[in-house]
Structure 1
Amino acid sequence: MTATTDAISAQEHAALADHWSAPNYHPMSVVLAQGEGAWVTDLDGRRYLDFVSGYSALNFGHRHPDIVAAAKAQLDRLTLTGRSFHNDQFGLFCSELAELTGTEMVLPASTGAEAVESAVKIARKWAYQVKGVPDGAAEIIVAGANFHGRTTTMVSFSTDPSARNGFGPFTPGFTVVPFGDLDALTSAITENTAAVLLEPIQGEAGVVVPPRGYLAGVRRLCDETGTLFIADEIQCGLARAGATLALDDENVRADLYTLGKSLGAGLVPVSAVVGRADVLGVLKPGEHGSTFGGNPLACSVARAVVRLLATGEFQERSRELGTYLHSCLEAVDGVAEVRGRGLWAGVQIAEGRPTGHRVSEAMAERGLLCKENQGHLRVAPPLVITREEIDLGVDVIAKVLG
């Protein structure tokens, strides 16, 4: 018989995970048991300030009361129907998300990778049916150092060796160009190009913001060549970068957006492709599906997220507190560069300072959860964080890097 959670120590939990789970992660030596707002608590009762936020899935913090209430209410009613039937949350979710994002149609899914896979399929079908690309010849242009998920198709155009090595053969039909290089993109587009797929801000690469005007140039180039612009806003969207959509900062519109992570607020996996009706409308019944996409529980949670975003409060918090966060980080001795926008920062660690997994562990020992990756920190606290909590977190970073 399996022991109850309360009867197992933190070390035993970690040992169980090490023994029974596939080793595709290298977690810190912290076993979390509870969370509220910007804080989490481990099994021993020690509190930590969360500067990871589930890679933006927890934009509204842990257990936001409005979102938890929506989930609890729906759990007492209906959780899953499948798309063979209507449910009383689905249509409302689609209409409210479309209104929030200024788009015309919504395709629901569960995970971010599923949303990107769906967008790729839609772009190819649109290219064959509308643009007139010969069957099987559609190309999609992506940026180097991208991260769009871990499926076989997504890693086929990754430039990260750890994502690709040992997972071939790879899916054809993708061309990789440097991120932020409009000339390279111009040269890569052909008459068979269906879409350009980009993260407006590259998260896994270190919160990299492209040169000002680049995204507007991508939009212009797509218009000139009859090519779709797909913006992957799974991490940078929904207020993380200071606007509802990161592209809004440059007054640029994509034809399709992929959304996820914070759309489910850390309670349930929710994602979606949103965009033009004439593009998403190429799908016909039976051509694409998702068992859990658009389920009543997910829709109820996502509707609560949309209501929070519709007030504009979290976009404003991200902008104002993001400016404060960036200024504090720039003043830390041991920081070479701070990149990003809103409450999202890529902190490049200066030469000669400590790096690697030990940096994350050292911060955890001081009560801060923040992940180091290839010489930079990705700082992404929940959007409910306060100035005082930012000060606490930055003080730990300064002590570890000092």
Structure 2
Amino acid sequence: MNNAQLNELKTRYVASGAASPATQFAERAENALIWDADGNRIIDFAGGIGVLNVGHRHPKVVQAVKDQLDKVMHTCQTVMPYEGYVKVAEKLSQLTPVRGHGKVMLANSGAEALENAVKVARAATGRDNVICFTGGYHGRTFMTMAMNGKVAPYATDFGSMPGNVFRAPYPVPYHGVSEEDALNGLKMTLKTDANPRDTAAIVLEPVLGEGGFYAASTSFLEAVREICDEHGILLIVDEVQSGFGRTGKLFAIEHSGVEPDIITMAKSMADGMPISAVVGTDKVMDASGGNSLGGTYTGSPVSCAATLAVLEVFEEEKILEKSQALGDKLGERFAKWQQDFACVDNVRHLGAMAAFDVVADKAKHTPDAELTGALCKKAREKGLILLSCGLYGNTLRFLMPVTIEDEILEEGLDIVETCLKELSHA
């Protein structure tokens, strides 16, 4: 079927809230390229929203999935366990920088990982409250919608959210929230809303994902760790988007040296196969009773096989080094655009987790969401998938595969530059 036929079916049968506004349908993909149902070639700078750090259909991952399909597709690991689950748990325990010996549970999505992290924290502490941050994004289930630091579009139409979730400011000096402001806000939340004796966990992204790719400083993360230790609160770090090599480390928190009690991860774990994980200190992870964690499909054999293959790819192809190099290339190009274009400001990257803000006035940092949307639309017309994000909808984020070929990267960046020339005033 072609794009037009598929769009007709989408309009007729797919719920509006779940339907993509895109009018092109993916037919096949390879590394950083997608071909649509009409045969058009598209450069992918979105990577399935950070899922494809090792590219579309990495051969090693595809082969691992095919091999697993010849063995076992599903048993439900709580009924009949299998090697893949425990091997993934072993690897993640060895690689994840939590305090002490790490233990692991696997789930299907980032939201499930966050839900289970909260369950574990409540079981381990006997407390209810959870503190999150403005701009944070943790998922689309009810608990994670309550945890999100942004209402629209995630929670706008869905009524009351679960209670015992409180908010503190995330440090974004560019938007007038200093590190001192953020820490004072967190302390005020603990004083006025969330009694420390009743607070199970503080949950944060070391680099905001949907909130705009703003990285928290090492000193801020260290201070939050100290606050948690002072009050017996668990520190949960959400690495769903920033994890698995996007920042040049396996996990973004490693840049700071801070050790959380729990880390959640998903997205690029398995190169497109659905899986997520909660990794935490053994005493914390063992706090709840037997059969209290899990689900029918959690840690499926096929997804576990893909995860193990991804970890091999990281080692064999030096993905972390490639991520750093890619980030340097993006940073250099962005810096040039900031000089050349009045609308490009606040360029930034941690490894290959890179972004810049689109503004109407650099001096005032005035967000220009309308121009941001126009740039994404124009890029799509020219054969490039580009994503926006941020509280103000004016951040362009770059999530191309870390394995992207140099010539494809340059072609895509040239398209962005052409769009900037056509739509903005130099």
Q: Scaled by the length of structure 2, what TM-score is found?
A: 0.87
User: What are the superposed Cα offsets for residues 196-235 of structure 1, whole Å, 9 maximum, x if unpaired?
Assistant: 1001111101111123411121112212221111000000
| Structure 1 partner of 2:241 | 235
Aligned residue runs from structure 1 range 140-151, under 5 A = 140-151=130-141
1:157 and 2:147 equivalent?
yes
User: What are the superposed Cα offsets for residues 6-32 of structure 1, whole Å, 9 maximum, x if unpaired?
Assistant: xx2211111211221111244322222
Structure 1 residue 388, shift from structure 2 partner: 3.0
| Structure 2 partner of 1:381 | 400
1:336 and 2:345 equivalent?
yes
Q: Scaled by the length of structure 1, what TM-score is found?
A: 0.92
**Residues in 1 aligned to 2:118 and 2:414: alpha-carbon distance in whole angstroms:** 43
Structure 1 residue 88, shift from structure 2 partner: 2.3
Contact persistence 1:28–1:361 (CA under 8 A): no
Give the gaps of 5 or more residues in structure 2.
Answer: 172-181, 191-195, 362-367, 422-426
Equivalenced residues, count: 386
Contact persistence 1:28–1:360 (CA under 8 A): no
Aligned AA for 1:314? I
Contact persistence 1:126–1:279 (CA under 8 A): yes
Aligned AA for 2:34? V
Q: Secondary structure at the match of 2:248?
A: coil
**Residues in 1 aligned to 2:258 and 2:408: alpha-carbon distance in whole angstroms:** 33
1:391 and 2:410 equivalent?
yes
Which stretch shows the higher mean deviation, 234-243 or 296-305?
296-305
**Residues in 2 aligned to 1:283 and 1:305: alpha-carbon distance in whole angstroms:** 30
Aligned AA for 1:167? F
Contact persistence 2:262–2:281 (CA under 8 A): yes
Aligned AA for 1:11? A
**Residues in 2 aligned to 1:179 and 1:71: alpha-carbon distance in whole angstroms:** 39
1:285 and 2:303 equivalent?
no
**Residues in 2 aligned to 1:220 and 1:212: alpha-carbon distance in whole angstroms:** 12
**Residues in 2 aligned to 1:45 and 1:386: alpha-carbon distance in whole angstroms:** 21
| Structure 2 partner of 1:10 | 3
Shift in CA distance, 23/339, structure 1 to aligned 2, threshold 3 Å = farther
Q: Secondary structure at the match of 1:327?
A: helix
Q: 2:164 aligns with which of 173, 182, 188?
A: 173
User: What are the superposed Cα offsets for residues 350-385 of structure 1, whole Å, 9 maximum, x if unpaired?
Assistant: 318762543222101212110234122111110101
Contact persistence 1:29–1:361 (CA under 8 A): no
| Structure 1 partner of 2:222 | 216
1:297 and 2:302 equivalent?
yes
Among all aligned residue pairs of Structure 1 and Structure 2, give the percentage whose two residues are the same amino acid: 30
| Structure 2 partner of 1:368 | 384
Structure 1 residue 160, shift from structure 2 partner: 2.3
**Residues in 2 aligned to 1:321 and 1:76: alpha-carbon distance in whole angstroms:** 36
| Structure 2 partner of 1:251 | 257
Contact persistence 1:90–1:296 (CA under 8 A): yes
Aligned residue runs from structure 1 range 93-104, under 5 A = 93-103=88-98, 104=102
1:125 and 2:115 equivalent?
no
Q: Secondary structure at the match of 1:331?
A: helix
Shift in CA distance, 278/202, structure 1 to aligned 2, threshold 3 Å = same
Q: 2:37 aligns with which of 43, 49, 70?
A: 43
Moved over 3 A (4+): none
**Residues in 2 aligned to 1:260 and 1:97: alpha-carbon distance in whole angstroms:** 12
Q: 1:85 aligns with which of 74, 77, 80?
A: 80
- Over aligned residue pairs, what C-alpha RMSD do you find? 1.7
Which stretch shows the higher mean deviation, 184-193 or 233-242?
184-193
Aligned AA for 1:363? A
**Residues in 2 aligned to 1:269 and 1:384: alpha-carbon distance in whole angstroms:** 20
Q: 1:115 aligns with which of 113, 123, 130?
A: 113
Aligned AA for 1:94? A
Aligned AA for 1:161? V
| Structure 2 partner of 1:185 | 186
Aligned AA for 1:358? A
Q: Secondary structure at the match of 2:269?
A: helix
Q: 2:67 aligns with which of 70, 73, 77?
A: 73
**Residues in 2 aligned to 1:335 and 1:243: alpha-carbon distance in whole angstroms:** 27
